[in-house]
Amino acid sequence: MKPLVAQFCLGLLLASFSLTPAPAGTKLESLCRIKGQEENTLHAMGIVVGLNGTGDGSFTPTHRSLATIMERMGIPVTMEDLKNAKNVALVHVTTTVPPTGARQGDRLDCVISTIGSCADLSGGRLILTPMLGPVPSQNGQVFALAQGDVTVENAELPTKGKILGGCRLEHEFRYNCVNDGKIMLVLKPQYAEFCVAQEVAEMINGPQILYQNNSRLVAKALDAVTIEVEIPGQYLADSVHFITQLMQLEMTTVPVGPRVVINERAGTIVLSGNVTIAPVAIAHRNIVVETGAAAGAGPFVALDPTDPQNPQLKSLVTSLNAINVPTSDIIEIIKLVNANGALAGDLIFE
């Protein structure tokens, strides 16, 4: 039986949904980041040992890697010697250096993922593993060292684990965000529009206390994403102080058009503006969504009786949520609506 899509008030949405646009008094740090502050990912191939018979078994690359490691430690072995090893696994190791940078000796979490036939990483330990940069160089520069006990956080996905604080940095990550006395602000994807960039530049150039001794404009929008900001002379010797105050400035309104921002990993849907749905018919699992002239026929209940030809997407999300449709299915339905050209707004994935 096909479930009815009933009309419910917006207040019935779960807390995981945010259907409001950016509120008044939105700080600049919520709208954009500073160019030069980006995450970096370190990675490596490593060996996990100590598994309880759930390792790679006869996976040849694992035997080859383990034999190489043992030979370097003064224990020469052949791959034939290791053919029955079931307590080891070849894994991919990654760690993320935050956009604020990090210092030598800092410890970061690392993620472990199996490569071969290992069925479960529980109880395993990653042996000392050199971590390479985002783009491995020819000289194989080591940026960090990773090792430690693997924790499987999701019992339904035992082939992926984490080592808390398992990566120790051997290299400094200092990001320079000031060039020629200027910084570049980069709008986040959900706010990337020409009008928003211009509004941000005008707000920065407004009667701000930051520029009380500066008579000329210091900010200009370069495109729909980037705003160039010149550091006033009185702050050149203390750019951190300037940047701190700058990113705390607030915009009373954020002029973005209708859009849907989805974070599938977090299971969140953010709607801004009046996102409408053009005539379309979508079937997903046991759910049917119809809009347009044929909508409302048979056992279906209208999503938005005030405008049945162009219902609001928030009405659809509200109704699906009220009948306990999983967030993942709601996201898939929104994708289908957009793929059919029926979504009157931008669809953005974070």
Domain ranges of the chain: 10-21+257-349, 26-36+176-251, 40-169
Report the predicted TM-score, pTM, of the whole model to 2 decimal places.
Answer: 0.65
In this prediction, residue 166 carries a pLDDT of 95
> Sheet containing 346-349: which strands, arranged edge to edge?
17-18, 268-272, 259-263, 346-349
**Strand pairing partners for 49?**
125
Interstrand relation of 26-27 and 250-251 (parallel, antiparallel or unpaired)? antiparallel
Range from 144-158, 174-188, 290-304 carrying the lowest mean pLDDT: 290-304
Distance CA 179, CA 168 (A): 30
In this prediction, residue 289 carries a pLDDT of 80
- Average pLDDT, stretch 231-244? 86
- Average pLDDT, stretch 278-284? 82
Q: How many CA atoms lie within 13 A of 100 on its CB side?
A: 2
**Does the pLDDT of residue 23 top 60, yes or no?**
no
Tens of pLDDT, residues 55-86: 888 888 888 888 888 888 888 888 778 877 88
301-308 contacts: CB < 8 A, separation 24 or more? 301/4, 301/5, 301/6, 301/7, 302/7, 303/5, 303/7, 304/7, 305/7, 307/276
By three-state DSSP, how is residue 341 classified? coil
Highest mean pLDDT among 57-71, 77-91, 219-233, 255-269: 219-233
In this prediction, residue 212 carries a pLDDT of 57
Closest CA to 195 of 233, 161, 163, 221: 221
What token pair was written down for 156? 């339904």
Instruction: Considering only CA atoms, give the Rg of the chain.
Output: 27
- Judge whether 291 and 311 are in contact, CB under 8 Å: yes
Listed in sequence order, the DSSP H helices in 154-215 are 194-205
Which CATH code fits 26-36+176-251?
A: 3.90.1070
